[in-house]
Amino acid sequence: MIQGLTHNDHDRHYDASALSQPSHRPRQGALRARKTTSLLGLGVTAGLSLLTTGCGERYLVFRPVGPVGQVEKELIILSIILVLAVIIPVSLLLWHIVWRYRDVPGNPAPYDPEWSESHVLEVIWWGIPIVIVGVLGAFTVRDTFLLTKPPERTAAPLTVQVTSLNWKWLFQYPDQKIATVNYCEIPTNRPIQFILSANGPMNSFWVPQLGGQEYAMPGMAMRLWLQADRSGVYYGHGANFTGRGFAHMAFNVIARPRAEFDGWVRQVRHSAPVLTRVGYQSLVQSNLVKPMAFSAYAPGIFESALLKEGGMYMKRDLTMLGRSHSHSGT
Amino acid sequence: MSTFLPHFPATFIVTGDPLIYGAEVSIVLATVGILFVLTYFKKWGWLWREWLTTVDHKKIGVMYLIAALLMFFRGGVDAMLMRTQLMRPNMGFLQAEHYNQIFTTHGTIMILFMAMPFIFAMFNVAVPLQIGARDVAFPYLNAVSFWLFFFAAMLFNLSFVIGGSPDAGWVSYPPLAGLEFDRGPGENFYLLSLQITGIGSIATGINFMATILKMRAPGMTLMRMPLFSWSVLASSILIIFAFPALTVALALLLIDRLAGAHFFTMFQGGNPMMYINLFWIWGHPEVYIVILPAFGIFSEVVSTFSGKRIFGYSSMVASLMTISVISYVLWVHHFFTMGAGPGVNSFFAVATMCVGIPTGVKVFNWLFTMYRGRIRFTVPMLWAIAFIPIFAIGGATGVMLAAAPADYQYHNSFFLIAHFHQVLIGGTVFGMLAGMYYWWPKMFGHMLNERLGRWAFWLFNIGFYVTFFPQYLLGLMGMTRRMYTYPANMGWNTLNFISTIGAYVMGIGFIVLVLDVVYSIRFGERDFTGDPWNGRTLEWSLPSPAPHYNFARIPTVTSRDAWWTSKQERVRGDAPMKLEPLQPIHMPKSSGRPFIMSAIFFIGGFGLVFNWYALGFLALLGILISLLLRSLEYDTDYYVPVEEVEHTEAALGRA
């Protein structure tokens, strides 16, 4: 029996007030030159703001705090504008046609039951969607390639290894050699290289305000670049169903300036217990736990779970693990 | 565990939940009630002769329709239960286990046991009549398809009370659905019932492709064929090429679960990703399999009730076929977030957007079919008109989801849920309901009540918007799917509450729809003309309902909208063609074997669910014997004599 699968999970409620913290400095980085999109987006943003008056900050996808989420938001806004260019005319046309050509006695509108071909019209509406798909497709391809690169080239990235367990998130910091469960601290203005895997059913790692998600899958290690340019506490949740405890797989990502982050690391190193292999095995069990921190962890936990018999397919991708791989104990 | 002796798991009969006790009691009561009524009114022989053994496509269509409506009810109840649980944060209405089972059965039933039989109902009811055929190409196989579907649906629903429902989601991804994390028999119910119904679906695809390609009336070239039949052809081609991938995926996962293989396990060399690829190689074409026939129905309905030829017929055909081809190269968009490289994601993103092109063309063509027409607001036409804005928005959000980097923010959120409900309800369900109202008189000889139909339409349509628009917003607020509960401080409360209210309104709409059906059986306006809508295609040239041989004389077709043309000719006073003398009509004989063989499939499937291999083996033997007996059977057809045709036609008031 799984304990703790009740309906309240107070520990993981993130602090909504932290979302509105002021920006520490203007957003920087390689992804900024996007004025065209921004201008286009202005109208829709205004519309969306109207729509969401009063609780706009709840629309996490539209409140990005880093360059990755910003790129995705701008693409979303561009796509909304493009599809509205079809939806609005179609709706008006439908309304007009249905009203004008309704079958009532004495309707003066023309009735032309055999009229069924018009090359001009057909070229127009084969053409309109082709143009829209062309524009959106071009931006999509550009951003798809863009997001596989670190958002900020100047700062050295921080690597965090993320493992989805039933039903908790384990974060390991191979450079700091500390680990946390169900919360994750990161420095601001520094690209974070999340290396995602699972030791259990596949999950998806999603922190909407930092950017889009990526799956955490057993026997695979996949990279997700994210970055926070503003301090705050950001809501994260598993996005792929993993069984009974799935609804409780929330975690907070706490972003703070470099110095504070380093202080936090020191504090964890000095005060938290060690995650042993036995301790890890108990984390792998299906249950719910509260947030935890570990001053050190048994080396190779992440890599050995990854390579455990099935990871053969991933050997060629191990280079991706980068520095963390050199720590592998197995 | 002994392999050959039945081993009863501790939880053979599901207990411990009032909902399930209620279901168990009502199943027993309903069964006893049905048995009593059949016995009391001495209807067993009638049931066997007229329905269980029939190979008549019209009756098979009716049975598909009844089954689809029943499954619609079951899947709809699941939806109501889920929405009730999500109405408020931290609700205690359902436990996690129960909620997980319910969303799994909701998805599986709605796609495989509601949408599929509903489209097959329409295939069967309309296609042979539209193309001037006397039955489908393989009537016996058609009955096999139906009964395989029927028993598979029974097997799937049985899991609710025996063994426990599957709970790994309708996509059933390993390793969650593998033995390692899911030991219960529920997942086996899922795999076996989908496998059985899948065989039936492939057979239906083959059947209708052959029927459409080989059995059209003389003169009906492909480019004179009604658009519904075109859409069925496109859908059948998709079925034939897509369903085998599902068969393979399910079979391998079943072997993993029953025999301890490692195709998709986490370790020992398994790769769960392969299942996901196979599943969506079927799964993406599947959504077009269920949407294309709806497009076909809208084309018929819009043209009929605008009193006008369909606009851009060639474009409509081209877009149907383009969609069916493109739909095979989209499957990766279901997992942009699973680590494919940017090149792969870009390809599948742009390919997905490209589907929007032919679909957009169809929308414009429907609009311009109404343009300069005379629009009659009948119930089928209301569903068709309401479909256009819903589908425009649903298609638009589909294009938005196709932008891969944006999808990283939508994937598995309620935004996605809202999108696919919008296209599947707004497209397939609206389409099938339009088709049901449209062809109801052809099936049963009476109309459905318009007044109740309008009530059902408005409730369902308004309920739809109220249910799903808040879900788009919830997705943008970060709410993911398949959460049985959520905290109160995320700002999701109000929108979830509204969404639940909308779901109830849709539920009431469905009830009114059923009331309409029941009311109209007794009081519905009788259709004596055979052409109550002033239709355009050949099915309206026949009496309602059509005699079992459909056409006393196979018509010769000279144009599109063949029946409309011949009515025009009659109005103009062109000399009616001299009627050919009647000929004896070649028809297939009824057979009880499809029913029996499918029942054996059910028994074998039930055995394998619990690893009772002996039962599975016996059933396999029974299936092989059934197949062998069929192969050795030569007395499968007969001729309806001319006198009987004359007599029947005279009774129907036809010359």
Domains of chain A as residue ranges with CATH: 35-104+117-146 (no CATH), 158-317 (2.60.40.420)
Give the pLDDT confidence score for residue B339 in this predicted structure: 87
Q: Decide if B350 and A246 are in contact by the 8 Å CB cutoff.
A: no
Predicted pLDDT of residue B306: 96
Contact B490 A110 (CB under 8 A): no
Residue B127: CA atoms inside 13 Å, Cβ hemisphere, count? 35
Residue A6 pLDDT more than 50? Answer: no
Residue A17: is its pLDDT beyond 70? no
Query: Mind listing the pLDDT tens digit for each residue in A27-59?
Result: 444 444 444 444 445 555 555 555 554 457 899
CB nearest A129 (choices: B356, B477, B482): B356
Alpha carbon of A211: minimum distance to chain B alpha carbons (Å): 7
Residues B136 and B209: their CA atoms lie apart, in Å, by 10
The 10 Å CB-count burial string (b at 16+, else e) for A162-200 is bbbbbbbbbbbbbebebbbbbbbbbbbbbbbbbbbbbbb
Query: Considering CB atoms only, which of B97, B176, B364 is closest to A125?
Result: B364
Q: How far apart are CA B116 and CA B59, in angstroms?
A: 17
DSSP labels for A275-303? E-HHHHHHHHSS-----EEESEE-TTHHH
**Residues 6 or more apart whose Cβ sits within 8 Å of residue B348:** B329, B330, B331, B332, B333, B336, B340, B404
Q: What is the 3-state secondary structure (H, E, C) of B545-601?
A: CCCCCCCCCCCCCCCCCHHHHHHHHHHHCCCCCCCCCCCCEEEECCCCHHHHHHHHH
Determine contact: A5 vs chain B, CB below 8 A.
Answer: yes
Q: Which of A302, A328, A312 is nearest to A165 (CA)?
A: A302
Rounded to whole angstroms, the Cα distance separating A268 from B507 reads 54
* pLDDT at position A189 over 90: yes
The reply to whether B265 touches chain A by the CB within 8 Å rule is yes
Spatial separation of the C-alpha atoms in residues B6 and A277, rounded to whole Å: 41
User: Which residues in chain B (167-186) have CB-CB distances under 8 A to chain A?
Assistant: 168-169, 173, 175-176, 181
Q: Half-sphere exposure (CA, 13 Å, Cβ side) for A42?
A: 6
Tokens of B141: 């196989």
Compute the count of residue pairs across chains A and B with CB atoms less than 8 Å apart: 302
A74: nearest CA partner in chain B = B406
Evaluate whether A164 touches A203 at the Cβ level (below 8 Å): yes
Within the 297-326 window of chain B, which residues sit less than 8 Å (CB to CB) from chain A?
306-313, 315
Instruction: Report pLDDT for B653.
Output: 84
Per-residue pLDDT, A37: 44
pLDDT at position B394: 95
Among B181, B310, B406, whose Cβ lies nearest the Cβ of A75? B406
B411–A213 CB contact, under 8 Å:
yes
- Chain B residues inside the 8 Å CB shell of A79: 399-400, 403, 406
DSSP state letters, A29-47: STT---HHHHHHHHHHHHH
- Chain B contact for A53 (CB, 8 A cutoff): no
Neighbours of B146 (CB within 10 A): 29
What single letter denotes the amino acid at residue B632? L
Cα–Cα distance for residue pair B252/A233, rounded to 1 Å: 44
Mean per-residue pLDDT pooled into runs of 10, chain B (655 residues) = 51 74 82 88 91 96 96 95 96 92 96 97 97 96 97 94 91 92 90 96 97 96 97 97 96 94 84 93 96 97 96 95 94 93 95 94 95 96 96 95 96 97 96 97 96 97 97 96 94 96 97 97 93 96 94 93 91 75 94 96 95 94 96 93 93 82
Residue B8: predicted pLDDT? 61
Phi and psi for A181 in degrees, rounded to 5?
Answer: -125, 130
pLDDT of A34: 44
Q: Is B535 on the interface with A (CB under 8 A)?
A: no
Q: Across the interface, do B375 and A140 touch by the CB < 8 Å criterion?
A: no
- Taking an 8 Å cut-off on Cβ atoms, the answer to whether A7 and B485 are in contact is yes
Phi first, then psi: give them for residue A327, nearest 5 degrees.
Answer: -85, -5
Q: Are B595 and B588 in contact (CB under 8 A)?
A: no
3 state DSSP class of B171: coil
Is residue A169 helix, strand or coil?
A: strand
| Interface contact flag, B409 A222, Cβ < 8 Å | no
Task: For residues A109 and B220, give the distance between their C-alpha atoms in angstroms, rounded to a whole number.
Answer: 34
Q: What is the pLDDT of residue A24?
A: 41
Res A138: pLDDT: 97
State residue A166's pLDDT score: 93
Distance from CA of B642 to the nearest CA of A (A): 39
Q: Contact at 8 Å (CB) between B286 and B197?
A: no
| Residue type present at position B265 | T
Confidence of residue A20 (pLDDT cuts 50, 70, 90): very low
CB B243 within 8 A of CB B328: no
Give the residue from B459, B477, B499 showing the smallest Cα distance to A51: B477
Integer angstrom CA distances of residue B558 from A41, A112, A143, B66, B566 = 54, 21, 54, 36, 9
Nearest residue of chain B to residue A15 (CA atoms):
B489
Q: Tell me the chain A residues in contact with residue B397 when contact means C-beta distances shorter than 8 Å.
A: 83
Q: Taking CA B403 as the corner, what is the angle to CA B475 and CA B353, rounded to the nearest 5 degrees?
A: 115
What domains can you pick out in chain B, each with its CATH number?
43-591+636-651 (1.20.210.10)
What's the token pair of residue B202?
Answer: 């492939």
CA separation for the pair B286, B249 (Å, rounded): 14
Contact A61 B476 (CB under 8 A): yes
Write down the pLDDT at residue A16.
38
Distance separating alpha carbons of residues B448 and B514, to the nearest angstrom: 11
Enter the ipTM. 0.92
Q: Does B345 touch chain A (CB under 8 A)?
A: yes
- Chain B contact set for A220 (CB, 8 A): 273, 339
CB A192 within 8 A of CB A160: yes
Place of tokens 């107070």: A10
Q: Does B224 touch chain A (CB under 8 A)?
A: no
Q: Is A296 on the interface with B (CB under 8 A)?
A: no
Higher pLDDT, B622 or A329: B622
Nearest to B363 by CA among B419, B319, B398: B319
Closest residue to B267, CB basis, from A87, A122, A308: A308
Q: Find out whether B571 and A113 touch, Cβ atoms under 8 Å.
A: no
The nearest alpha carbon in chain B to A48 belongs to B473
Q: What's residue B237's pLDDT?
A: 96
A111-122: pLDDT as tens digits: 999 998 899 998
- Other Cβ atoms closer than 10 A to B255: 15
Instruction: Establish if A237 touches chain B: CB-CB under 8 angstroms.
Output: yes
Task: Please judge whether A90 and B389 are an interchain contact, meaning their C-beta atoms are less than 8 angstroms apart.
Answer: yes
User: In this predicted structure, what is the pLDDT of residue B19?
Assistant: 76
Q: Is the pLDDT of residue A9 over 60?
A: no
Query: Which of B90, B266, B342 is facing A218, going by the closest CB pair?
Result: B266
Distance CA B490, CA A58 (A): 7
pLDDT at position A186 is 97
pLDDT the model gives residue B2 = 42
- Helical ranges in A163-300 per DSSP H: 258-271, 277-284
> Which positions in chain A touch B269 (Cβ < 8 Å)?
309-310, 312
Q: Which residues of B touch A235 (CB under 8 A)?
A: 478, 490
- Residue in B100, B273, B489 nearest the CB of A244: B100
Among B166, B142, B139, B163, which residue's Cα sits nearest to residue B78?
B166
Based on DSSP, count helices (H) and strands (E) in chain B, helices before strands: 21, 2
d(CA A9, CA B90): 9
- Per-residue confidence at A321, pLDDT binned at 50, 70, 90? low
Q: Give the distance from residue A318's alpha carbon to the nearest chain B alpha carbon, in angstroms.
A: 14
Q: Would you tell me how many other CB atoms lie within 10 Å of the CB of residue B599?
A: 16
Q: Which residues pair with A162 in a beta bridge?
A: A171, A196
Looking up tokens 């009948």, which residue turns up? Answer: B378
**B172, B173, B344, B372, best to mutate vs chain A, most A CBs in 10 Å:** B372
Q: How far apart are CA B411 and CA A257, in angstroms?
A: 30
Determine contact, residues B485/B85, Cβ cutoff 8 Å.
Answer: yes
Q: Which of A112, A124, A100, A113 is nearest to B364 (CA)?
A: A124
Chain B environment of A117 (Cβ under 8 Å): 311-312
10 Å CB burial of residue A223 (0-12, 13-18, 19+) is: middle
